Amino acid sequence: MINIWEVNETNKMIEQDNLDVRTITLGISLLDCIDSDLQKLNDNIYRKITTVAEKLVETGEEIERGYGIPIVNKRISVTPISLIGEAACQTPGDFATIAKTLDRAAKEVGVNFIGGYSALVSKGMTPGDRNLICSIPQALAETERVCSSVNVGSTKTGIDMDAVKLMGEIILKTAQYTKENDSLGCAKLVVFCNAPDDNPFMAGAFHGVTEADAIINVGVSGPGVVKKALEQVRGADFETLCETIKKTAFKITRVGQLVAQEASKRMQVPFGIIDLSLAPTPAIGDSVAEILEEIGLEYAGAPGTTAALALLNDQVKKGGIMASSYVGGLSGAFIPVSEDQGMINAVESGALTLEKLEAMTCVCSVGLDMIAIPGDVPPSTISGIIADEMAIGMINQKTTAVRLIPVIGKGIGETVEFGGLLGHAPVMPVNRFGCDAFINRKGRIPAPVHSFKN
C-alpha cells in the first residue's frame, strides 16, 4: 500500500516544486472539412472543432480535481491549414478568414491556444502554401489564440531556401503588424526543421496527416522537481547525478501518462503520445537554466553548458521512456529565453549569447526559442539565423525550430514584456555582418548524405 512518505513526496512536488501537466492537446483532423467553397469550408471547420473538443476543458478540469495535479493548458492542434484551405483559398486574405474561424472555435470551447495554422514546405511551396505563409502576419495580428508554424526543411528532403528567405520577411512583417504589443505575434510563429506530427506544445503544434481523426497528446513539465531532487545530491559524482535525473523524470512522466490515459478514456479519443520535454515557466524555481546551475554552472551559457544540457536531456529521455507506453512530440529540454527566469538572468549577466544558444540547440530540443532581437535587423539576417538552425536539425536528424521576436522600436538591452507563460525578455544582440548574397540564391539545400557520419 502507498505510504505517507510517498504521498508527501508527490504532494510536495505539486505544491512546492511546480509539478504540473503542461498541456493536454487534442489533435483534430480537418481533412474531412475540405471544400472548394470558402464559406462552407469555414462552417465545416468550426463545426468539427466545437463538436470534437466540446468536453476538452471540462474533462481536463475533472482530472485536475480528481488527482490534485494542475493541468495548466488545454489546447487544440489541427491539420496544417495550407492543406485544408488550398482548394478554397485564392489569396492570403482568404486564408486569414480560416484563422478567424479557428480563433472563434478556440474561444467557444475555452482553449487558450489552437495550433496548426501551418504549412509543410520542406521541399517546395504550392500556391496554397505560399498564400498561407503570406497571410501569417495578418492572421496573427487579427486573432488572439491562433498559433502558426512552417516546416521549411527535413533530413530526408534538405532545406527549402526560398521558404527560409520568405520566412525572414514574414517574421519581420508579423513583428510590424503587432508592434503595439511588443511584436507579440512572433511569439506565436515557429519555423521548423523535421517538425513532428504529434507535438502537443505551442506554438508549433499541428495535427499531422499521418495521425488518426482525433488524438490526445500530453506534454509533461517539471524543471522545478528535477532542480529540487538535484539539490539533494549536490557535489555527488556523475553517476549519482544521472540516476537522480532519470528517477525524477520517470516519476514526472508517470503522472503525464496517467492524465493522458484518463483524458483518453473520458473523452473516448485515442491516446497518442507523451511529450517528455522539460518545459520551464517564468515562475521562480521552474527553470531549466537553474537545473544547469545546480549541475555546477555559474550561469547557463558558461563553458560546460552544452555538455550539461546534453546530459540532462538524455537522462530525462531515459527515465521518461520507461514511464510511458508511447513517447513522441519534441521530447527534450526546452531552452526558451523569455519563459525561463534563469535564462533571462544569464542573458542579463552577459553569460548567454545567441551563438551559445545555437550550440545548445545541437543537443536538446527544440531550438532558438522566444529570443527577442532588435526590430531593425534586415530580413536576410533572420533568414540566415533560420538557415543555420535548420541545418543543425537536418544534419543531426532532429527537430530544430526558430521562434525569434524582432521587437519593433526596441534595441539591445531594453526589455519586452509578453505576459503570462510567455514571460519577458531582454533584447539580445545579433551578429551584424551580412548574408544577403547567400539568402538571395534561389532553390534548396540538397538532402544530406545518410552515411559516412563524422
Q: By the criterion CB under 8 A, which residues form the site for another protein?
A: 1-4, 6-11, 62, 65-69, 251, 254-255, 257-258
* Shortest Å, Cβ 269 to another protein: 20
Nearer to another protein, 1 or 437 (CB): 1
Which CB atom, from 46 or from 67, has the smaller least distance to another protein? 67
Tell me if 361 sits within 8 A of 303, measured CB to CB: no
By beta-carbon proximity to another protein, the closer residue of 69 and 172 is 69
Shorter beta-carbon distance to another protein: residue 55 or 107: 55
We find the least distance from the C-beta atom of residue 67 to another protein, in angstroms, to be: 4
Pairing of strands 444-445, 158-160: antiparallel
At 128, list the grid cell. 496554397
> Shortest Cβ distance from residue 239 to another protein (Å)?
21
Give start and end residues of each alpha helix (H) in 232-274. 238-267
Rounded to the nearest 10°, the torsion over CA 202, 73, 219, 383 is: 10
In whole angstroms, the minimum distance from the beta carbon of 417 to another protein comes to 34
Task: Name the maximum alpha-carbon separation found in the chain.
Answer: 68
The nearest distance, CB 228 to another protein, in angstroms, is: 15
Nearer to another protein, 21 or 308 (CB): 21
Q: Among candidates 425, 426, 114, which has minimal Cα distance to 282?
A: 425
Residue type at position 234: R
Cα within 13 Å of Cα(109), Cβ side: 29
Torsional sign, CA 238, 244, 250, 252: negative
For residue 19, the minimal CB distance to another protein (Å) is 10
Buried b (16+ CB within 10 A) or exposed e, 382-395: bbbbbbbbbbbbbe
Q: Compute the distance between CA of residue 153 and CA of residue 303 in angstroms, rounded to an integer.
A: 30
Judged by beta carbon, residue 125 or residue 316, the one nearer another protein is 316
User: Which triple of cell numbers denotes residue 313?
Assistant: 536531456
The nearest distance, CB 6 to another protein, in angstroms, is 4
CB of 68 or CB of 443, closer to another protein: 68
> Given the complex with another protein, which of 6 and 144 has the nearer CB atom?
6
Residue 100 burial (C-beta neighbours within 10 Å; 0-12, 13-18, 19+)? middle
Q: How far is the CB of 40 from another protein (least distance, A)?
A: 41
Distance CA 78, CA 31 (A): 9
